[in-house]
Amino acid sequence: MLTPVAQSVEIAGLLPNAHLQVLPRGGHGMLLEYPDDTLGAITAFLGGGAS
């Protein structure tokens, strides 16, 4: 884990209009390892909805 969730929350809180979604598992290879979860989050973000 490069960035603990607590730090990600802090970073997102400092950015205007930020959206942070923490997936139950992940990492730098999450698109390949968990494509359904990752693409669902990306699609929801791009569509303006939350998953």
Task: Count structural domains, the chain.
Answer: 1
pLDDT on residue 14? 97
Residue 17 resides in a domain: no
Q: What is the 3-state secondary structure (H, E, C) of the chain?
A: CCCCHHHHHHHHHHCCCCCCCCCCCCCCCHHHHCHHHHHHHHHHHHCCCCC
Residue 11 resides in a domain: no
- Host domain of residue 49: 24-51
Residue 31 resides in a domain: yes
pLDDT on residue 10? 95
Asked whether 34 and 27 are in contact (CB, 8 A), the reply is no
Residue 13 resides in a domain: no
Residue 30 resides in a domain: yes
pLDDT on residue 26? 66
Residue 28 resides in a domain: yes
Model confidence over 8-41: pLDDT tens digits? Answer: 899 999 999 888 888 877 677 788 888 898 898 8
Q: How many CB atoms lie within 10 A of CB 38?
A: 17
Residue 7 resides in a domain: no
pTM: 0.61
- Token pair for residue 48? 């303006």
Residue 48 resides in a domain: yes
